[in-house]
Structure 1
């Protein structure tokens, strides 16, 4: 049997097992173990141990539980709820004001969390009931919460980028910096879409009452204090890191400790809060660690049989595809996979196949792997909200008020999928959107 056939069987076997709905890391590890035993015999027993030691030597992974802890602590201590109240008042006079405020709330939540799930949970629990009560269109606001929550994996401190950096051996700081402008551009596009739709069709977003709009300026300024804590934590954490005063791990620790202090300052810190946050942090971290371990074992076998070279030979020599055609083919495959898999599963599948191949392509782009990391992350945003099995779609169904049906959820996401694709097109046309800031930082 040729190595190309073995590679195809490994890939097909992994995809088939994932479709059974079992744990991602177990399916990946099973394919890696079976392939290693078939190819190398008993000598392959060292493979998972080598992968484990490699995993434990990556210091960047130590930031993962700290960022997850910080996000959960800020969410469960009620700071996000106060943020929404501030947005509610300050954006109330604009067409679709509450929906616009929700978009910017998602940007702030993203900047203190790094996960999509937290933004979705906060938006579903706080923003959706409030906008429904005021008569906002169900499809519009559901799309705003789902689309806005995906910014959590694009803006720093993105946890998905930490995983990509570990597997692709790229600096996490460069990936974070590269995601800033694409993330902000996408947020502006989302906000422009909401404003234009509500301006053209005011019935989608009824205005606030006269009593709410007549709030004295002094009271409005007091509400601004709700945004000081999360913004201050983000500025201190990222500022110390990019200026070189702290390492990535130390900055993550600063963020986690700052979140605890913020909860204490608000008078909401308790043993129950710490216990619940710690348990959820351990659950998320353990899941990610197992997935990466399985991915490393799979990649070791996949690389060992020369599969990457075989794929490169097929794309470049046999099919005679240009480098940009290869990138477009990869993007198409991301979107198809995203309809059935989450971002972690996608990364595990594509890492052994695409990352080495992208490194060999001559696209004429500085920081090419960093640029591709942002491209991959933005496609993961589509994966989160793509029917039929987008992760956020089912999470939204479980979290949303009963008035919002699954049909409403499916209808709501298409404009946001199109806007994300538009932003991806901008990034492919103008790679400097992602590469300029990391290059300036290094300079």
Structure 2
């Protein structure tokens, strides 16, 4: 049996197990272990062992539980509630203003969190009830929350970009900087769409009643205090790292500490909140570690087979595809997998194949990390099985049906595809900031 056929069998077996509902790490790890034993006998067990040791020696992996902890502290202690009140007052008079304020809230939460799940939880529990109560169209509301929450995996400190940096061996600081302008551009496109849509159809997003808009400038300025603590957390965590004062792990520790201090200042860090935060952090962190461990073993078997070279030769040599055609095909495959998997699973499954291929095609790996992340955002919300669609259904009130959720996301997906096309056509959107700061 040829190595190419073995590689195809491994990949198809793994996808088949995933479709049967097996846990991601179990499917990947099982296929990797069995393939290694069949190919190399008893010596194949060393592959999984070496992958485990490599994982334990990855010092940057400490950032994951710290970032996750920080995000859950901000969510569980209600600091996001204060931010939403501020955006509610400042943007309320504009048609669709509360929806615009929700996008702004998601940008701030993304800059402190790094996970889309936390953004979705905050939007569904804080913003959605208020928007529906104010007469906003339920389809518009669900689309806004899903689109806004997706920014969490692009705007720094993105946990997904940290994982990509670890696997692709790229500097996380440059990846974070590369995600800034595309993330803000995408948020701006969301806001522009909401403004235009609500201007044409005001009933979709009515402005605040006049009596609620009559708030003095002094009170409005006092509400800005809600943004002080989040800004300080972001500065101490990301700002010090980008300026070179802290390492990646140190910045994560600073962020977790700053979030805890902020919760103490607000007098909201109760024992029940701390217990819930630590429990959720442990669960998510262990999930990430198991998935990465399984992916490393799977990648080692693939590398041993020489599958990457075979795939490169197949696309470029036999099919005679251009490098841009190969790149577009890779992005389409991410969207297809996103119907069944989350972003972490997609990354660790295909990174052993795609990262060397991207390097061979002479594309910038930092730029490709941004493309991958945007494509994951699109895949999250692509019907019929997008990850965020069912997460939204679980958190939404009963009057919001799955059909409403499907319809709500289509215009935002088109906006995100536009953003992806812009970053592909103009790589400097992503690369200008890291190249300027690091003088490349």
Q: Determine whether 1:336 maps to 2:336.
A: yes
Match of 2:406 among 403, 406, 410: 410
Aligned to 1:223: 223
Aligned to 1:312: 312
In structure 2, runs of 5+ residues without a counterpart are none
Task: State how far apart, in whole Å, the 1-side matches of 2:335 and 2:380 are.
Answer: 10
How many Å apart are 1:348 and its aligned residue?
A: 2.0
Aligned to 1:322: 322
RMSD of equivalent CA atoms: 0.9
How many Å apart are 1:207 and its aligned residue?
A: 2.1
Can you list the C-alpha shifts for 1:314-362, whole angstroms capped at 9, x where unaligned? 0010011111111011111111111222112211221121111100003
Aligned to 2:92: 92
Aligned to 2:52: 52
Aligned to 1:21: 21
Aligned to 1:246: 246
Task: State how far apart, in whole Å, the 2-side matches of 1:92 and 1:276 are.
Answer: 33
How many Å apart are 1:223 and its aligned residue?
A: 0.9
- Which deviates further from its counterpart, 160-169 or 149-158? 160-169
Task: State how far apart, in whole Å, the 2-side matches of 1:244 and 1:151 are.
Answer: 25
Match of 2:415 among 403, 416, 419: 419
Aligned partner of residue 48 in structure 1, secondary structure: helix
Task: State how far apart, in whole Å, the 1-side matches of 2:75 and 2:337 are.
Answer: 30
Aligned partner of residue 362 in structure 2, secondary structure: coil
- Which deviates further from its counterpart, 307-316 or 49-58? 49-58
Q: Is residue 338–residue 387 contact of structure 2 (8 Å, CA) maintained in 1?
A: no
Task: State how far apart, in whole Å, the 1-side matches of 2:186 and 2:431 are.
Answer: 16
TM-score (norm 1): 0.98
Can you list the C-alpha shifts for 1:23-46, whole angstroms capped at 9, x where unaligned? 100000000011001100001111
Q: Determine whether 1:395 maps to 2:391.
A: yes
1:244-283 superposed matches below 5 A: 244-283=244-283
Task: State how far apart, in whole Å, the 2-side matches of 1:134 and 1:93 are.
Answer: 12
Q: Is residue 182–residue 430 contact of structure 2 (8 Å, CA) maintained in 1?
A: yes
| Number of residue pairs the alignment of both structures matches | 439
Aligned partner of residue 156 in structure 2, secondary structure: coil
Q: Is residue 161–residue 369 contact of structure 2 (8 Å, CA) maintained in 1?
A: yes
Can you list the C-alpha shifts for 1:195-219, whole angstroms capped at 9, x where unaligned? 0000011111122112210011111
Q: Determine whether 1:180 maps to 2:176.
A: no
Q: Is residue 110–residue 156 contact of structure 1 (8 Å, CA) maintained in 2?
A: yes
1:160-239 superposed matches below 5 A: 160-239=160-239
Can you list the C-alpha shifts for 1:111-158, whole angstroms capped at 9, x where unaligned? 000000011000000111101011101111110000010000000011
Task: State how far apart, in whole Å, the 2-side matches of 1:207 and 1:242 are.
Answer: 39
How many Å apart are 1:166 and its aligned residue?
A: 1.1
How many Å apart are 1:222 and its aligned residue?
A: 1.1
Aligned partner of residue 224 in structure 1, secondary structure: helix
Task: State how far apart, in whole Å, the 2-side matches of 1:37 and 1:66 are.
Answer: 36
Task: State how far apart, in whole Å, the 2-side matches of 1:329 and 1:138 are.
Answer: 35
Q: Is residue 341–residue 389 contact of structure 1 (8 Å, CA) maintained in 2?
A: no
How many Å apart are 1:403 and its aligned residue?
A: 1.8
Aligned to 2:360: 360
Aligned partner of residue 222 in structure 2, secondary structure: helix
Task: State how far apart, in whole Å, the 2-side matches of 1:207 and 1:428 are.
Answer: 36
Q: Determine whether 1:386 maps to 2:376.
A: no
Task: State how far apart, in whole Å, the 1-side matches of 2:48 and 2:301 are.
Answer: 11
How many Å apart are 1:57 and its aligned residue?
A: 1.5
Aligned to 1:106: 106
Can you list the C-alpha shifts for 1:385-427, whole angstroms capped at 9, x where unaligned? 1112211111111111222111111100011111111001001
Can you list the C-alpha shifts for 1:72-108, whole angstroms capped at 9, x where unaligned? 0011100001111110000011110100000100000
Aligned partner of residue 208 in structure 1, secondary structure: coil
